[in-house]
């Protein structure tokens, strides 16, 4: 069994390919998402044209109803601060939301599953699994 944190790119890929999460995750894996992931998915809903908005909202609802959401709490905030200091000292900025997702994975000791593993490259305490070959 793996403890996984699914990032937004993974979920968007799943939605676009019309794959079910069961096709992409083992039965015994324990999955969750960061709260910021819901915000990112909702932006996609709000920016969608009329033809796609309902389907995107349905996907967000399904994700919210079936995958546990990890809040941004004091433990995640401390991990986030550590990562912010690391990237500033490294001189290699990262996306604000990506760092929150990485901090959530770090704080909850989960492996991060992403379609864009480069966003999390070299972050201390963050293990990333790319679902793309």
How many domains does the chain contain in total? 1
Predicted TM-score (pTM) of this structure: 0.91
Q: Domain holding 15: CATH number?
A: 3.40.50.1010
pLDDT digits (tens, 9 = 90+) for 34-53: 999 999 999 999 999 999 99
Residue span of the structural domain in which 47 resides:
3-130
- The string of DSSP letters for 28-75 reads T-EEEEEHHHHHHHHHHHHHS-HHHHHHHHHHHHHHHHHS-EE---HH
Q: Are 39 and 96 in contact (CB under 8 A)?
A: no
What would the two tokens of residue 127 be?
Answer: 């293990």
pLDDT by residue for the chain (133 residues), tens only, comes to: 789 999 999 999 888 887 666 666 777 889 999 999 999 999 999 999 999 999 999 999 999 999 999 999 999 999 999 999 999 999 998 999 999 999 999 999 999 999 988 999 999 999 998 876 5
Q: Are 30 and 57 in contact (CB under 8 A)?
A: no
Placement of tokens 């201390």 in the chain: 124
In this prediction, residue 15 carries a pLDDT of: 83
């Amino acid at each position: 069994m793996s403890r996984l944190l699914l990032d937004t790119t993974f979920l968007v890929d799943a939605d676009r390919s019309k794959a079910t999460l069961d096709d992409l995750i083992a039965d015994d894996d324990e999955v969750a998402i960061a709260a910021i992931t819901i915000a990112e998915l909702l932006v996609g809903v709000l920016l969608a044209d009329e033809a796609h908005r309902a389907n995107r909202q349905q996907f967000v609802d399904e994700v919210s109803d079936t995958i546990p959401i990890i809040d941004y709490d004091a433990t995640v905030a401390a991990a986030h601060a550590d990562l912010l200091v690391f990237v500033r000292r490294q001189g290699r900025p990262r996306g604000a939301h990506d760092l929150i997702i990485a901090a959530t994975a770090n704080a909850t000791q989960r492996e991060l599953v992403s379609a864009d593993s480069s966003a999390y490259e070299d972050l201390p305490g963050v293990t990333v699994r790319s679902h793309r070959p």
